[in-house]
Amino acid sequence: MGVAVSYQIVFFFVVPILFGGLLGWFTNWVAIKMLFWPVRPVKFLFNLQGVIPRNKSNLAEKISEEIVGKLLTPDSIREKLSGDEFRTSIAELTGKYFADVRRLRIREFHTFLPGMDGVRWNENIGGVKSWLKDWVRNYLDDEGFESGVRGVIADNVGALSEKKVSELIREENIASLKGYLSERIDFFLGQDRVAAFIRKVIDARVAALSESDRKLKNIVSSVDLNEMLYALYEREMPGLIENLNRLLEDTEIVGMAKSRLIAAIEQYLKEKKIWGTVIRVFFYNENKVNEILEENINRGIEELKRTLKREETVSKLKDFVFEHIDRFLDKRISEAMSYVPREQVDSFAVGFAERASALISDEETRGYLKGELDGFIDGLADEKLKDVAANYFGSSSEALADFASDQIIGVARGENSRSVIDRAIDIQVDAVADMTLGEILPADTEKSLLNYLAGEGMNAIVEQVPRALELIDVKEITKRSIENFPAEDINNMLHNVMKSELRFIIVLGLVLGLLIGLSQGLLLFFTQGL
């Protein structure tokens, strides 16, 4: 009887309650999970995906509609901007901000601009430089600039052509010109400068020759070169042969040469391990070898003396010399230059530059040039402008005007002028960039700005709110931002916000399941247990 009662209690009460509680907890847990997961569709009998990830686009649409329709409305924004409190705050903020900005250099302005760093700000300053350079270049290349220059010069040259140069230029300016030219002569003809210039020219020429593919014989006329070499040979070779014969007759020099030659042969035989045992086998002793060597050297010297006295030898020597000269002259200049030590070339260049610069920089030379220039300037100053044009330019004053216009326009459009203009723009923009805003703006700028923001400026901003919202398209921005927001991050955000409520729902499912299980147990007990 007791076992039957226990079985009924387990069957009618414990099992339904546990099963109901577990089922309630599990179904709520699964339902909550399926609100958020899986983030991406899963193929399991059918496409399975969390409610929130699947409806992210609809969620973005609804949220953006609510924000635009009820939160960021034109009326609410206008009301906020029109309030005295907001205007006062803007005025205070602007005053504080402007006071700080006035002390800031333009180059450091990026520190007050959100999202701007020093590199990008310097790039913007560089962009201003580039824009100014392009504008100036376009202006100089424009036909309007050319026609303007020609018109101004033509008008002035026509009116001044009947006047003397001395009437157009002050006497002190002419004297200054003479002094300037005299200084330039002293400067350019200074010995160090002239020597440096000559050395530079020589170095450039040597560098060019070192890389030249031309042959030596192509530098000068081959006929002149051959005549010069033959004459040099005929003049110098007899003396060379005579000196060589004299050396061969000098017993002291010949004895020294024989001693060194025998010593060199002995050293060679020792290095080859022939000297010693091998020598003794064939010659009995080393002294015998020395005697044989000396005897053969003496015979060689005597034969050389007789050979040098023969006409046939001189002729062959001449042919030999010219054959090698021809071979040498047939080489490329760059190859021939490699035979000359660099130190020797440098020594020649330095010596030549010093001698030439001493001649050019001589006081007498400079005095002569200064006198000639002074006389030329005095004669030029006494002539009419139109005569200067005719005598020195071979044309009329109109042609002189055209010439001057061409020169000015050419200089203005030339690369040197453009580089100077570019450099000037760089200097001026850098100078402005190193100035503070307070140094650039008028003193009453801050007061005028605050008055404008408190009155007409703010009213204009308020009137443009609907148009601004339309251009900004808050709804589309909000929708796109939510759609681009990763689904995992949306799930985590919502889950973290509702974490306690979701736990409560799961526990509530457990409690309801227990109650349902209890009610089912009671129902079974009263309907079947009895």
* Residues 406, 443 within the same domain: no
Distance (Å, whole) CA 176 – CA 308: 74
Specify the pLDDT at position 281.
Answer: 45
* Residues 225, 299 within the same domain: yes
pLDDT in tens, 229-274: 667 666 767 777 777 777 777 777 777 777 777 777 667 666 666 5
pLDDT band at 217 (very low <50, low <70, confident <90, very high): low
Instruction: Judge whether 57 lies within some domain.
Output: no
Q: Which H or E run includes 307?
A: helix 286-308
pLDDT band at 174 (very low <50, low <70, confident <90, very high): confident
* Residues 224, 322 within the same domain: yes
* Residues 134, 235 within the same domain: no
Count of domains in the chain? Answer: 4
* Residues 281, 315 within the same domain: yes
* Residues 89, 20 within the same domain: no
- Report CA Rg, the chain: 54
* Residues 436, 399 within the same domain: no
Instruction: Judge whether 16 lies within some domain.
Output: yes
Instruction: Judge whether 351 lies within some domain.
Output: no
pLDDT in tens, 180-215: 777 777 776 666 776 777 777 777 776 776 666 666
Instruction: Judge whether 411 lies within some domain.
Output: yes
Q: At what angle do helices 397-413 and 143-160 cross, to 10 degrees?
A: 140
Taking the model in full, what pTM does it have? 0.33
Instruction: Judge whether 502 lies within some domain.
Output: no
Instruction: Judge whether 324 lies within some domain.
Output: yes
Tokens at 176, concatenated? 């200054």
Reply yes or no on whether the pLDDT at 1 is more than 60: no
Ordered DSSP codes for 172-205: HHHHHHHHHHHHHHHHHT-HHHHHHHHHHHHHHH
* Residues 260, 327 within the same domain: yes
Last residue of a domain, one of 282, 302, 331: 331
Ordered DSSP codes for 289-304: HHHHHHHHHHHHHHHH
Distance (Å, whole) CA 260 – CA 525: 139
pLDDT in tens, 311-352: 777 777 777 777 777 776 676 766 666 666 767 767 776 777
* 269 vs 286, residue with greater confidence: 269
Please give the residue range of the domain that contains residue 20. Answer: 1-30
Specify the pLDDT at position 284.
Answer: 43
* Residues 418, 437 within the same domain: no
pLDDT over 90 percentage in the chain: 0
Contact assessment for residue 165 and residue 388, using Cβ atoms and an 8 Å cutoff? yes
Instruction: Judge whether 187 lies within some domain.
Output: no
* Residues 259, 227 within the same domain: yes
User: In a 3-state reduction of DSSP, which class is residue 50?
Assistant: coil
pLDDT band at 489 (very low <50, low <70, confident <90, very high): confident
* Residues 241, 289 within the same domain: yes
What value does the mean pLDDT of the chain take? 72
Instruction: Judge whether 426 lies within some domain.
Output: yes
* Residues 147, 127 within the same domain: yes
Whether a cis peptide bond, with omega within 30° of 0, leads into 38 is yes
Contacts made by residues 155-162, CB under 8 angstroms, sequence distance 24+: 157/385, 157/397, 157/398, 157/400, 157/401, 157/404, 158/397, 158/398, 158/401, 160/385, 161/384, 161/385, 161/386, 161/389, 161/397, 161/400, 162/384, 162/385, 162/386
Contact assessment for residue 492 and residue 36, using Cβ atoms and an 8 Å cutoff? no
